[in-house]
Structure 1
Amino acid sequence: MTPPDVVARLRAAGCVWAEEEAALLLDAAADPGELDALVARRVAGEPLETVLGWVGFLGRRLVVAPGVFVPRRRTELLARVTVREVAARTGPVVVELCCGVGPVAACLEGTGAEVHAADLDASALACARTSAPSAHVHLGDLYGALPDRLRGGVDVLAANAPYVPTDRIADMPPEARDHEPRAALDGGPDGVDLHRRIAGAAPEWLAPGGVLLIETSPGQASLTTAAMDAAGLTTSVEVDPEIGGCVAVGRLSPPPTVEPA
């Protein structure tokens, strides 16, 4: 198969960036037979990233496998805010809930932080172990996956929990709707069911002065921060319009300073 043939097949399948995708597939294939197989998977609608086996994220290549949630570029804001919070602390404990393939944990490699990553998807966690080899990886539902010793001691808690409203999943691109786990997409009727669960229990897990960071959308940010407010956290919102990133921030107040008598 020649490069023009690859481009033509991809374009006929509706791939908008056919030339760019063709170059990546040509580079990934060891021989013509493998190239034909990769192109066939892409033409059938599989996300390019899982066909290639990686996704670019803040200058890194994160491992992705068929059937896992593929990190979007907008999540780079969540990672950047987490890295900034980590840099402001000494020896922090960090948790990435709903971590998927561990994009935030991967960006903390080499920082010296104690990093924990948790998710329900065993396949995604296998990818996370490769991209974030220093992280402690846990399989389970939200806080139930974490060791109890972390309770009250987490300095930075980051989460990209599902936030697509249930009735909007049918409108998503087929690449996501048909190839990613529904549990990684469905956020309940208004999209923030998991945000409420995460925020509600966060004060039990955060250290004094700790921070909760949840990726959300500009239209849902007020719902996410309302859940944080209800849990007693002081809230704010950070956005990056260039990549469509939106992060709700909730801070747990440190204990009051007691003046000496």
Structure 2
Amino acid sequence: MSALVTIGVFGLFHPVELRVEPVRGRVLVIEAQGRREILEGRGSAMLRSAATVTARNGAEAAFILSVPGKIQREFRGRLTVREENGHLLPIVEMERETAVASIVNAEAPGSPFEAQKAQAVVSRSFLVATRGRHQGFDFCDTTHCQYLREPPPAGSPPRRAQEATKGLVLTYQGHAIVALYSADCGGHTRTAEEAGWQMQGYPYFGVECPVRGEVSGHRIGMCQAGAAEMSRHKKTFRDILAHYFPATRIETME
């Protein structure tokens, strides 16, 4: 059975209502306030209280969720909507590999393929090593955890990057590490100590980067701009990860 993660979505919008509709004519089962509704075809439903949304028999569903007038996104998984402090909190339970592909689609959609594969391994390592970052769910869909977009279509580079690295994580002394990354380190990554962060499980070495751009992000771990440049110069995802995460291994996580 595939590993699952729970991700809180749209939390920045503090929605009081949500719209849900099935993808491509699929069937959704909505349970709310003791009632059960079957949604199919081009129908949609408004959610204004706690609810669950699945396919038939509780299976994962493909659905479009939106905060009317603000944001709309497609998901694949099981949706639970909680009521919290006067607003709704949607939580999507999905397969970890679906989350990895969706994160690569958000974080590195136009990067060279080997950089996308490196991103997939880094993002998967983060998901494995840091579950339970929020009360009641594992991760959020913002840069506090990892930016998340829609699952990429089959055959797309982000999906192929996830599939090519399926199950692979970065380990240090036998444990998956909290693999961090940022957009541009400006030519040299920082150690966690230099950033004033107390990190356990991996020391985070500072390394030279092939790109000396404008700093964007915390500069710890993998530099996405540098990873893309290394990929353009025929470096593999293993080369990229060995450069930014010295002393780690790439292992399969069952």
TM-score by length of 1: 0.29
Q: Which has the higher contact order (CA 8 A, sep 6+)?
A: 2
The structure carrying a bigger helix percent of its residues is: 1
